[in-house]
Structure 1
Amino acid sequence: MGEDIFNELNRENIERLHERYNRLNRFVIADFVRRSAYRYPDKPAIIFRDKRYTYRELEDATNKFANALLDLGLGRFERVAVLAHNTHHQAISWFGILKAGGVMVPINYLLRGRDISYCINHSESTVFVVEDDLFNLVSDVLEEMPPVKRFLWSKIGGKTAKPEGWHDFDELVRRYPADRPDINLDIHDVVQFSYTSGTEALPKAVMLTNQSLIAEYTSAITTGGLDPEDIVINALPLYHCAQQHVFFTPMIWLGGTNILLYDANVKGIFENIQKYKATQLFCPPTVWIGILRDPDFDKYDLGSLKKGAYGAAKMPPEVLLELAKRIEGIRLWNHYGQTELSPSHTILQPEDQMRKPGSAGQGELNTETALLDDDDNIITKPGGVEEIGCRGPHIMLGYFKDQEKTENAFRGGWFHTGDLGVLDEDRYVEVVDRKKDTVKTGGENVSSLGVEEAIYKNKNVEEVAVIGLPHEKWIEAVTAIVVPREEAKGKLTEEEIIETCKKELAPFKVPKRVIIVDSLPKTPTGKLLKRTMREIYKDFYRG
C-alpha cells in the first residue's frame, strides 16, 4: 500500500517521498560541513586564535553540539539565542543548531540589557548561549527571560565564573557522540531569526529559510568571486547577516578557510592577513578608510589580499583609487541589500568600480530589481527617484509575529526595501535616500524613532529630530536636533542630552553630536522635514 506514492504524482505523494528519502536527497545548510568534510577532510575550516578545526573536526563538533541540544530537550523549530563574538563556539552553534532542527537567533552584542531580553522573549528562545566576556550585558535581566529553559556558558577567556546551573559549552561538546542526528530537515525550514531595527523602535524578527539563504549563497559565490581556495578574514561580527551569509557560510559550503577575528581592530586585520596569507576581506567603508589611515599600514605584507568587498554605504572614489594603489592587485565588490533579502540584493563588480562610482550595481544571480512608484508600478525611465523593489528566492519568509508589516513589505508582488534609488541608462541602481527613517552608522542600523524616544525622556526637551549626517569615519553620524522647552532655553546643553542617551541606549545608538535650535522645519500639516534638515546640516561634520 505504501508503494502507491510512486504511482500518482500529486502534492501529497511528493511530500511523502521527500519525507521518506529526506536524509538521502535533501538540500539544507546543516549538511554543508559534512559535504566539505567529504571533499576536504583535513583542510582548515575555521581558525580562531589558537583553535583550528579541519572540516572533519568541525563536522564532529557540530554533530556533538546538536546531540547535546537534543538531549537538553530542544524541540523542532525551537529557537536558540547566541550572544557571542566571532569565536569557534559561534560557528559550532550555527551548524549544530540547524542539525538539531532548531532555529538560530544571533544577538547583536552592541545591545544590552532589555534590548537583548526583548529579542529573547519575542523570539521565545528556549536555549541561550552566552559568551563569558559578554555576560555583563545580560546579568541584570536574566530573570526577565521566562522562555529560556537552559543557559549555556561559552568560555572564551573572560574572568567571570560560570553561573550556577549553567551548562559548559565545551563540556557538552566533549560528552556527546559525533553521530549525525536523525532529524528530517527541509529546504523550506526556517533556520534563523535575524533582528533588524528598520524604522521602528522595537526590532523585527526576520525569518530566513534554507531556501532564501542557499539562493543568496549561490548569488554571492557566482557574482561575488568566491572560490574554495579563498582564505577569508571574518572581521565583522557574525551576528551581522552580511558577514555570516555573504562570506562565512558560503565559504564553508565551498570548502574555503574562515579566519575568525574577535573584533574588527585594524592591527588584528593586518596581523591575520599576513599570518595566514588571507585572500579576501569584507568591511564597510569606515573600516577600509581606517585601514588606509593606520600608521602601521606599510609594516605588514598584505600582498595576498586580492579580493575586497564593502557594503552598508558608498565608497568614496578617492578611497577606491587609494586602495587600488596601496594594495596591489586587489579587486573590489560592492554588495547592497538588507537583512530581509538574506541579505545581498545587488552587486557592483570590480570592473565597474571607477566606471560607476557610488552605484549599487545590478541584481545578483537570483534576484530581480526594479524601481516602483507609489502605486507599485515598475519605472524603467532613467533618472527618476523611486523606491527600490526586489523579487526572487533571497527574500525572507516574513516577520515573526507581524503579519501586517510582512504584507505591507510584500505588497504588489515585490519586496519593498524602503530605499530610494535611481536607474542609469545601463539599468544600474544607485541608492540615493531612504524612505525608512533609519541612520546607517558604521554599518549598524539605528532607528531614529528609538533615539528620539530616549531623548524625550529628558523633561527639558520640547521637540527632537534624529537624522544621519555625512561623516568621514562613520559615513553617517547619528545626530540629534533638539528644541528646548521655553524654561530650558539657554540652559539645556549638548552634554546633558548625550548623557540622557547613554543611560537609555546602546553605545552605537548615542548621537555623535547634538544641535540645539529654536525650531524645526515642518510641512504646513506639522510633519518634520528631515530631508530639509539633512540638506541644511550636510556639512556639519566637515568643519
Structure 2
Amino acid sequence: MPNERVALYSRNSIDYAVSVFAIARAGAVSVPLNFNLGPDEVAYILEHAECSAILAEEQLVPVAIEAMKRADLVDDITLTVAFGDVPPRVDGTWVSFRDLADSAAAGLDDAVTSDVAFLMYTSGTESRPKGAVMTTGALLAQYVSMVVYGEMSSNDRELHVMPLYHAGQLHCFLLPDVYLGATNVLMDGTAPADIMQCVQEHRITKLWLPPTVWISMLRHPDFLRYDLSSIELAYYGASAMPVQVLRELLEVLPNARFFNCYGQTELGGVTTMLGPDDQFRKSGSCGLPTLHEETGIVDADGRHLGVGEVGEIVHRNPQATLGYWRDPERTEAVFRGGWFHSGDLGYLDSEGYLYLVDRVKDMIKTGGENVASREVEEVIFAHPAVAEAAVVGVADPRWIESVTAVVVTRPGFHLEAAELIDFCRSRLAGFKTPKAVYFVGELPKNASGKILKRELRDRYSGAPQ
C-alpha cells in the first residue's frame, strides 16, 4: 500500500505508537485524527485525504463506521483495523491490530527522505481543517533539531501525556525519543493527579505540557504530596506561560530546566526555543531559531522589518510542509515570497530573540487602538486569586471590540470583577484594561490544552457588561 493514506483515530496507546512505524514501514502515509472529532468531521478528513484504510481504537469504531457511511467511503476504505486485543463486535469487517501485526509481511522497501510520511490536519481559524504534507526528510530534520536544542539524550525517561495526533507530542517528543533510544511512558488523559502519580511512580525525567496543564498541576490541592523531584527537563508550548506561573513552578521544581517551545504543525512543530538560562533574562520571549531555522518579521507587503518592529512572523526551514493537500491556493498564499507566513504577530530584539505579540486573530482592536491579549493576561495572572485567565475581544457597538477577561479563581479565593478591573487599571493603560470580567469554573480547551478563544468570543458576544 505505498503512498496510500491511513487514518489513525485513537487515544494514546502502544498500538498507536507501533502503528506509526508500521505505516511508515509499508511506505504509506499516516493521517492522525483528533479523537474528539465527530462523524461529520471525521468523514470530511477521510474523504479529503482520500484514505484507503483506517486504524481506530475499539471505542471509536462506531464513530468511524458512521463517518465512512456519511462520506460514502464504505467500499473505498479497504482496510479497517481496531486497536486492542480483540476485534470489535460492531462490524465483522474490522480486524484486530495485534492479529494484523503478527501476520505482517517482511521484505518491504526502506523509506527515503523525499517520501510523504504524514498528512497533519490543522484546525486553524477556517471552517475546514488543512492537511499539511510532511516528508520523512522534513520530520528527521525536526527530530535532530529537537534533540540538539532540547538537550535530549538516550538517558531520558519521558511521560507522553498530550494526544499523539498533535504534532508537538508526536514529532517533537515521542519520535525524537525513539530516535535516541530513550525510555517512553504513554498516558491517556491530562488529569493532574494521574500525571503526578505517573511521574512519581516511573521517576520521569522529562515532561512536555501546555501551560494550561502545568497550571492545573500547580493549583492541584495535592501538588506538594507528590515527589516530582525526578523532573530534569520541563517543556511548555502551544500557548504562552505566564511569568508568575513560571516563577512558582521553578520554586517547587528546583531540579527542572524549563524550555519554551514555539512553532506550528506546518513547520514540523518547533521553530524557536527559549532555553533554561534565558527564562527570566528574556522573559516572555519565544527564544532563538532552532537548528536549520530562519525566522523573520515582515509587514503587510512582505518587507522585512528591523529590530523591535512588530509584524508577521515568517519562517524558512527544511522541516516545513510541502504544502496543503489538494489546496494549491492556500499553499501559494502561505508561502508567498518564499517564506512560510505564520499568522502570528511578533518582533525580534537586538540579540535575535523572538517575541510573540499575539495571534493576528487574537489581537483586539478597541477604540482605534490595538491590544495584545497576552499582555493583559500577564497582568491578570499576577493577581493572587487567579488560577487561569483568557482575554478576548468581544464585539461592541461603541469600541468595535471590548477587552473582556474570562477568569478561573484559585480554590478558597473570592474575587469581584470590579476588584480585578481596578487591579489591571493600576498596571495597564486605560484602553488595555478589561471592560468586563466573567468568572467560570473552567476555560474551554481543546485536547492539546489550548484555550478556545473563539468559543469565548462567541459565548460573551452580546452579554451584559
Does the TM-score normalized on the shorter chain lie above 0.5? yes
Residue number among 65, 77, 80 corresponding to 2:3 in the alignment: 77
Secondary structure of the corresponding residue to residue 362 of structure 1: strand
Change (3 A) 1:330 1:184: closer
Corresponding residue of 1:531: none
2:92 matched to 1:167? no
**Conserved in 2, the CA contact under 8 Å of 1:199 and 1:438?**
no
Within 2, Cα distance between the matches of 1:357 and 1:153?
46
Secondary structure of the corresponding residue to residue 455 of structure 2: coil
Residue number among 324, 337, 348 corresponding to 1:399 in the alignment: 324
TM-score normalized by the length of structure 1? 0.68
Structure with a larger share of its residues in helix: 1
Change (3 A) 1:482 1:202: farther
Within 1, Cα distance between the matches of 2:136 and 2:65?
33
- Identify unmatched segments of 5+ residues in structure 2: 365-372, 381-385, 398-443, 445-449
Change (3 A) 1:511 1:198: closer
Residue number among 256, 259, 263 corresponding to 1:333 in the alignment: 259
Q: Report the structure number with the largest CA radius of gyration.
A: 1
Change (3 A) 1:144 1:169: same
Corresponding residue of 2:137: 211
Corresponding residue of 2:423: none
Question: In structure 1, what residue type is equivalent to 2:352?
Answer: R
CA offsets 1:295-332 (integer angstroms, 9 cap, x no match): 12122211111110000111111111111111121110
Corresponding residue of 1:230: 156
Identity of aligned residues (%): 35
1:183-262 correspondence runs (5 A):
183-262=109-188
Residue number among 78, 98, 113 corresponding to 1:149 in the alignment: 78
Corresponding residue of 2:336: 411
**Conserved in 2, the CA contact under 8 Å of 1:285 and 1:475?**
no
**Conserved in 1, the CA contact under 8 Å of 2:261 and 2:272?**
yes
Q: CA deviation at 1:478?
A: 7.8
Residue number among 116, 125, 134 corresponding to 2:51 in the alignment: 125
2:351 matched to 1:426? yes
Within 2, Cα distance between the matches of 1:473 and 1:400?
40
Within 1, Cα distance between the matches of 2:41 and 2:217?
31
- More divergent stretch after superposition (95-104 vs 423-432): 423-432
Question: In structure 2, what residue type is equivalent to 1:388?
Answer: I
Secondary structure of the corresponding residue to residue 420 of structure 1: strand
Corresponding residue of 1:140: 66
Change (3 A) 1:406 1:438: farther
Q: CA deviation at 1:475?
A: 5.5
Secondary structure of the corresponding residue to residue 419 of structure 1: strand
Secondary structure of the corresponding residue to residue 343 of structure 1: coil
2:28 matched to 1:102? yes
CA offsets 1:475-503 (integer angstroms, 9 cap, x no match): 547887599xxxxxxxxxxxxxxxxx9xx
Q: CA deviation at 1:157?
A: 9.1
Within 2, Cα distance between the matches of 1:406 and 1:437?
23
**Conserved in 2, the CA contact under 8 Å of 1:133 and 1:157?**
no
**Conserved in 1, the CA contact under 8 Å of 2:302 and 2:337?**
yes
- Identify unmatched segments of 5+ residues in structure 1: 1-73, 440-466, 484-500, 502-506, 519-536
Q: CA deviation at 1:155?
A: 2.3
**Conserved in 1, the CA contact under 8 Å of 2:307 and 2:347?**
no
Corresponding residue of 2:238: 312
TM-score normalized by the length of structure 2? 0.79
Change (3 A) 1:319 1:136: farther
Question: In structure 1, what residue type is equivalent to 2:92?
Answer: E
2:437 matched to 1:511? no
Q: CA deviation at 1:113?
A: 1.4
Within 2, Cα distance between the matches of 1:356 and 1:132?
47
Change (3 A) 1:136 1:473: farther
